[in-house]
Structure 1
Amino acid sequence: MWRSIASNALTLFIVLFLLAGGGLIWGQRQYTGPGPLEEPICLRVEPGSTMGRVSRQLGDEGAISNSTIFRLGAKYTEKSSLLKAGSFLVQPGASMEEIVDIVTRGGRSTCGTELNFRIGIVSAEVQLRELDPATSRYVEVMAFDPAAGEIPQDYAEKRAAPDLRFRVTLAEGVTSWQVVEELKAADFLNGDLVELPPEGSLAPDSYEVSEGMRRDELVAEMQERQSKILEDLWARRADGLPIETPEQALVLASIVEKETGVPEERRQVASVFVNRLRQGIRLQTDPTVIYGLTEGRAPLGRGIRQSELRRETPWNTYVIDGLPPTPIANPGRASIEAALNPDSTDYLFFVADGTGGHAFAETLAEHNENVARWRRIEAERQEGVQ
């Protein structure tokens, strides 16, 4: 009888052991396997939250199949105490293991609200944007000019969000003076900017920053990024260019940047200036005249007078030969690349064509025809306004 009891006990133990082992294997597969989430979500983890609270949120969102397994998995991997507050993007099919990693990894939030301080050619703009999990694209919530004094009523509330992320974006063609002046209005940055960065030395780009970052550190990052871009593109420049140094390339790129807003035209515009430099023809480009008048400290806000076309400044390419002594703006990567790898053309002239682009010409006669056509377009537009 005792043998029978012992045998039955052993059998029961084995069954329980197998069941436990099977349960562990099942639980592990539940934890590491693809989750049930069908659409991306933005998971908000409040300060002071626990894994229990997060597991309930995930369960309500349909992101996990078992809250207990989620909590036990986080505890077993010793990540329960590493939970971070913030807003985190959870992709469809994310496993419990992947979600635990997302909410404990640290770093900035990956979704939620972002404040983008955009420095444009004319003015700066504060843009509050929220990530749409379904499209992974930001949707603008509000936008305003901080210098205008009209701040939306709910800006302060959104600005106080604990997981708000910050970004500074420079438009292509802004001047260094504009950047320094506009950064003063960025209330999430600290410190003063004592020196004006050399014109052209700042990379137009988007910079993710942290609240309280020093302004001079951000400017240094902009300069470092532009230096690397220039170094990279200079090493891959075309042969035979009438440009002797990377600094001259930056000057030419800044002129290309200010002459066209059409990306497809940059290499053609660059070819015109390269051809003129090769033939010893003055560049005769209006943006250099404007920079000579303003030195990049404000938009001119009107047309150029004939007397100003003849005024001698270091940047007036109607008066000086060759390139100006400095860039006239901060060119983007595409304009630097165009200046160093222009199209192979015989163009020497270009003028606006009425569509936002330009009409190019090889001879003065062709150019004069294009100019006459443009003046007719201008006259028709003036008549339409009246």
Structure 2
Amino acid sequence: MRNRQPADRQADQKTTRTRGSLARSPAERLEPTRPPARVNRKVRLDEERKPRPLLAFMNGVLTVALVGMLLVGVLAYYFDGQMDAPGPLEKAKIIVIPKLEGSLEIAARLEREGAVSDRRLFTAGYRWLQLLAWLDGDKALQLKAGDYEVRQNASVRDLVEQLSEGKTVTYKVTIPEGLTSQQIVDRLNADPNLSGEITAPPPEGSLLPDTFVTQRGAPRQSVLDTMQMGSRKLMERLWAQRKKDLPVKTWEDAVTLASIVEKETGRNDERDRVAAVFVNRLRQNMRLQSDPTILYGLFGGKVLWGRPIQRSEIGQKTAHNTYQIDGLDRLPARVADRRRRQRRSCLRGEPQGPQRQRAEVAPGGKGSQGQAGTGAAAGRANCQDPSARQTTGRGAHQTRKQGL
């Protein structure tokens, strides 16, 4: 028959209708297409369960990292709380950290001193803060030697910050006015908070006394150098402002004259007059005749200013006795003097206001205290009666009033 077709062609048409792999006729397109064969679920599950090594490894790594981060966070929170916890120190105390001690030795020392309960906690805290500083890009923390005043109940964080910043206890070294260079050296050598030794005193008058703030173990020579530098800067400034017609040739002579004024009178309101009288004597080529120079000529840098002056000592010629020598040429600066007032008075040459006229009175005449405050006439007046007189830092002025 015409409509009969071979079996293989019928199969192809069947395939076409079911699978749609060949072109379909309009009639065939009206027939629904069969869905694909259902895949066996068991086979699909077996394929999905096949081992994948890389994925398994990544899952393991992420799991470990997550657990590790959680653990580190918990430990960091706990450790941070321990670092800020109050320490065992019941009251503030001074703890000395010697030089060249490492962090382990410092931790052991803090434990012995009772500042920390466990040296391992301090060491761990120090390393932890070092790590944080490194992560922040800051300068590496280093524990420094020195004397530290550890406050009561200081935490580990407080201790690490205090020792790494070097917040040490400072000590004051006070050098009063009126001391000779030798006396200043003796005072510095006797200070237990300083180190080193000064063997030779500097030139007289080259030191500017003051109160200096130092740390334990600071070199004694450094304090001396600071005093010399301060004196030099002060005199350079005052010397540039001096009156040009003064009979003082160098600023060293001005320091010498200021030191004499310092010991001649102890009253601030008299120093201008005393300085003016001395300047007038230098202008007239007269001897200064100052009592303190007698004592310094006899005893030098170890002088005791309260010692009485004997009558025979006034006429004893020494390198510094201004009763026996002329001017300032042979007289070194004697005593340390930080009072700017004396030095300005000596470089100004005359007092201000109503004191100016009294300073012009010749030595030996009667009048106000200031006219003979230099001790010139005082020496002559007092030596006529007693065989000795008392002189202190202002003894010449006192004996002048007694003589009148």
Partner of 2:223: 218
Match of residue 347, structure 2, among 329, 340, 343: 340
Match of residue 325, structure 1, among 307, 312, 331: 331
Q: Does 1:173 align with 2:185?
A: no
Mapped to 2, the partners of 1:213 and 1:252 lie a distance apart of 33
2:301 aligns to what SS in structure 1? Answer: coil
Native 8 Å contact 2:196 2:220 kept in 1:
yes
Gaps of 5+ in 1: 1-43, 50-75, 89-101, 109-162, 380-386
Mapped to 1, the partners of 2:163 and 2:318 lie a distance apart of 59
Shift of 1:342: 3.5
Mapped to 1, the partners of 2:399 and 2:372 lie a distance apart of 19
Shift of 1:164: 3.7
1:360 aligns to what SS in structure 2? Answer: helix
Letter in 2 for 1:267: D
Give the 3 Å change call, closer, same or farther, for CA 312–325 of structure 1 in structure 2.
same
Match runs of 1:289-328 below 5 Å? 289-299=294-304, 301-323=306-328, 324-328=330-334
Native 8 Å contact 1:290 1:304 kept in 2:
yes
Partner of 2:123: none
Mapped to 2, the partners of 1:247 and 1:262 lie a distance apart of 23
Native 8 Å contact 1:201 1:226 kept in 2:
yes
Match of residue 187, structure 1, among 177, 192, 204: 192
Partner of 1:24: none
Partner of 2:369: 359
Native 8 Å contact 1:199 1:329 kept in 2:
yes
| Greater C-alpha radius of gyration | 2
Give the 3 Å change call, closer, same or farther, for CA 375–307 of structure 1 in structure 2.
closer
Partner of 2:209: 204
Gaps of 5+ in 2: 1-91, 96-106, 111-135, 152-160, 383-396
Letter in 2 for 1:329: V
Q: Which has the higher strand share?
A: 1
Identity %: 38
Shift of 1:278: 0.6
Give the 3 Å change call, closer, same or farther, for CA 103–252 of structure 1 in structure 2.
same
Letter in 2 for 1:225: G
Mapped to 1, the partners of 2:188 and 2:283 lie a distance apart of 40
1:202 aligns to what SS in structure 2? Answer: coil
Letter in 1 for 2:347: L
Mapped to 2, the partners of 1:191 and 1:300 lie a distance apart of 29
**Relative CO higher for 1 or 2, CA cutoff 8 Å, sep ≥ 6?**
2
Mapped to 1, the partners of 2:402 and 2:259 lie a distance apart of 27
2:278 aligns to what SS in structure 1? Answer: helix
Native 8 Å contact 1:347 1:360 kept in 2:
no
Partner of 2:232: 227
Native 8 Å contact 2:292 2:305 kept in 1:
no
Mapped to 2, the partners of 1:321 and 1:193 lie a distance apart of 33
Give the 3 Å change call, closer, same or farther, for CA 87–269 of structure 1 in structure 2.
farther
Q: Which has the higher helix share?
A: 2
Shift of 1:298: 3.1
Q: Does 1:272 align with 2:277?
A: yes
Tell me the number of residue pairs that the alignment of Structure 1 and Structure 2 aligns. 236
Shift of 1:337: 1.6
Native 8 Å contact 2:277 2:371 kept in 1:
no
